[in-house]
Amino acid sequence: MEKYAEIRAKELLSELTLEEKIYQICSQMVYPIREDFAEKRNYKVGNCRNIGHFIHESKGCAVSPYGITEAINNEIRLATQSNSKAIPPLEHGEALHGAQWGMATCFPQPIGMASSFDTDLVERIADVIGKECAVAGVRQALTPVVNVVRDCRWGRTVETFGEDVLLGGDMGAAICKGLQKNGVIATPKHYADNYSYGGRDSNVSDTSERTMREVFLEPFRRCIKDGGAMSLMAAYNSWDGVPCTCNKYLLTDILRDEWGFDGFVVSDYSGVENIKEAHRLYDTSAKALAESLKAGLDISLPRSSYDDFITALNEGFIDEADIDRAVLRVLTAKFSIGLFNKPYGNPEKAQELVRCDEHKKLALEAARKTIVLLKNDNTLPLSIENIKQLAVFGLGATVIPVGDNYSGPYKVKWTAEDAKTPLQYLSEYLDGNTRVIFADDSEIENVAPLCDAAVYFTSLIEGEGMDRSDIRLPGVTNARQRDENTVIVGKNEFSLKTDQEESIRRMCTSNKNSAVVLLNGSPVDMSSWIDFCPAVIEAWYPGEQGAQAVTEILFGEISPSGKLPVTFPRSVGQLPLFYSMKPSGRGYGYVENDGSPLYPFGFGLSYTTFRIDNFTYNIVNAGLRIGFSAENTGKYAGTEIVQIYFSGHNCDVVMPLKELKAYKCIELHSGAKAHFEITVPRDSFCYYDRRMNYGLHNGDFTVSAGTSSADILSSFEVKVREGKISLK
């Protein structure tokens, strides 16, 4: 952070009373928003959950950007007037794939963003999200989620960038940069290892320090070092016997002393309370708060008690220096983002900016680049000239495909008059040429045979509090989100009266020209129907413009280019399954299968074809430079993503079978040919040795270039000896 900001913060800190200091690191969330809001709100508290997330419920309808900004401004004005130094409050909120104070621009869920392998795109998305937060007065975003997913049963897989360390770090850093260029503080979460056996959210972690550093910590480090993140959120779970919220080794020794982080740390909601209630580590809330503060936490969200601070001081659990340390970090951040100079949002500009044409255009570009074509037996693209009747099935066709995970405000689904469901967009797109027939699954045998093609849109509910033990498409079921923190994401309930797997089999049997569009946030088990189905599109939750993007891909307006950021298993029994596992002492399979996935990490088909060859490899000062030629030999303009993997052997420790070290998106028109280069940084050859020293240790590396972790085009050998990298 800027030295000027720290100097100003120190000056201001010296002028504050003890009471004013404590309130600067207190937080408050008022819910529900009713007429008595002003009575419940303690305007002295310096960190507040912005009310824009909740006011829609009390109004009974979606509130305009103008109205939301005015309400937040009033909250900021009263809070600023409540202290002698006119310190503005820090209004925070969610911004996972769009500013979540209302009906802001809604982009693809993060798992979809990762499928683009396009960090420039993701930074531009975050820039828009940052603009739509800042213009409404929201200056801290509790995002990105950079937990690495090694078990897709975790309900929050949809929030993440998948299973890869490099990709997750790249995407997380891009989000941080995009938000913070607008004066919105990014808050990577959940630090550090936020799920456990079976994908259970926030369960105890017994991950080794080696794995923690090699895998789970690295994306957070990248968000700080490369993304400049000013804040960070501690996780609910415990690691090595200590809750992350009060874990000094994580919050001070690693985060601050090793990485040089100079921002502030917040708890996950009620994380400090859970040290006492869930983890049963301390018997009073004041003690839990004190131990967290001393460990390196600065703010307990969403509510913290002034009285607990006073009790902790009086009992000798903390002293005023502990208070000062946390306050200084918060004030420094406020000065760094210009909050004192520009504390308020702009209602007129908010009404003009939010979901403007430029922002919606970017949402469409994102949706197009995040969709993955998994299977295609010459069924896609569909021909608009040859299809006079199109059968559409599945509940997913009737909803705007944003997903119910951190989309829109509390208890009010994200919506917009110009946002379409897949069924609506298909009908408009094919109007005058093709009749679109939407039918209930019970009518498949009556409708599908009469049509020239059939498409099934799946339905699945995922997110916080929705961990799954079964990763098949749900059949006749009722599912309900667990109660924890539903005040943030809303209580989601899912009722389905059809067996989707059976419906897909019936559709594909009734019409050989069929395709399935998956609308989901994590891998699904397709074993019971994939052999019947000629074509499968993984659309994820593609956001507010997703219906158009899916239609364009179905009918060949564009060629799909997304790649899987997570491995798709054949069945739940293979989990946990990820591509960068370390070698087995015996084997990888089961009695029923050989252990290979259904679809590997990095996989994705296209409507066009590429010839990629003439690889060259050179050692340069920056690391390793890989050159290659690429030619689009098909009929469509398209994008291919060339991926570079390392496989280490003869190293000081066992290395993963493969690790992604670099990638490049190449775009070529039909018939075009070009030369490309990828530079793999020198640090990519570094690893932790047996003594947990990180550096350029001896080893041999097979460097592979391919179009997925399983589709390799070229390989060569590199050796590292005494700190020098050379070709073998």
Domain CATH number, residue 656: 2.60.40.10
Q: Is the peptide bond before 110 cis (omega within 30 degrees of 0)?
A: no
How do residues 220-231 score in pLDDT, each as one tens digit? Answer: 999 999 999 999
Work out whether the CA dihedral 238, 239, 242, 244 comes out positive or negative: negative
Domain co-membership, 293 together with 419? no
281 to 215, 243, 247, 302, 481: CA distances (angstroms): 27, 9, 12, 20, 27
Which stretches of the chain score pLDDT less than 50? 1
Domain co-membership, 70 together with 108? yes
In total, how many domains does the chain have?
Answer: 3
Domain co-membership, 438 together with 306? no
Cα gap 162→179, rounded to integer Å: 21
Give yes or no for a contact between 540 and 112, defined as CB atoms under 8 angstroms apart.
yes
For residue 276, how far is the Cα from the chain centroid?
A: 29
Domain co-membership, 483 together with 518? yes
Report the b/e string of 366-392 with b at 16+ CB within 10 A.
bbbbbbbbbbbeebbbbebeebeebbb
Q: Is residue 20 part of a domain?
A: no
Q: What pLDDT sits at residue 1? A: 47
Q: Is the peptide bond before 401 cis (omega within 30 degrees of 0)?
A: no
Q: What pLDDT sits at residue 485? A: 59
Domain co-membership, 60 together with 174? yes
Cα gap 583→572, rounded to integer Å: 21
Domain co-membership, 248 together with 394? no
Q: Is residue 38 part of a domain?
A: no
Strand order in the sheet with 140-141: 27-28, 47-49, 90-93, 140-141, 185-186
Domain co-membership, 373 together with 497? yes
**Residue range(s) defining the domain that contains residue 502:** 369-574
Chain position carrying tokens 């929705």 = 466
Chain position carrying tokens 């059968």 = 391
Tell me the CATH number at 472.
3.40.50.1700
Cα gap 72→121, rounded to integer Å: 30
Give yes or no for a contact between 538 and 561, defined as CB atoms under 8 angstroms apart.
no
Count of other CB atoms within 10 angstroms of residue 577: 25
The length of the chain is: 728
Q: What pLDDT sits at residue 478? A: 64
Q: What pLDDT sits at residue 483? A: 60
Domain co-membership, 137 together with 96? yes
Domain co-membership, 455 together with 409? yes
Work out whether the CA dihedral 695, 698, 699, 700 comes out positive or negative: positive
Q: Is residue 485 part of a domain?
A: yes
Which segments of 440-580 are extended strands (E)?
A: 453-457, 477-480, 493-496, 514-518, 535-538
Sort residue 389 into left (φ over 0), alpha (ψ -120 to 50) or beta: beta
Cα gap 21→530, rounded to integer Å: 60
Which segments of 131-263 are extended strands (E)?
A: 140-141, 185-186, 195-196, 200-201, 231-234, 238-239, 242-243
Three-state DSSP class for residue 574: helix
Domain co-membership, 72 together with 107? yes
How do residues 3-39 score in pLDDT, each as one tens digit? Answer: 899 999 999 999 999 999 999 999 999 999 999 999 9
Cα gap 448→23, rounded to integer Å: 64
Q: What pLDDT sits at residue 496? A: 78
Domain co-membership, 373 together with 333? no
Q: Is residue 141 part of a domain?
A: yes
Domain co-membership, 339 together with 376? no
Cα gap 692→203, rounded to integer Å: 26
320-336 and 285-295 helices, crossing angle to 10°: 60
Q: Is residue 715 part of a domain?
A: yes
306-314 and 320-336 helices, crossing angle to 10°: 140
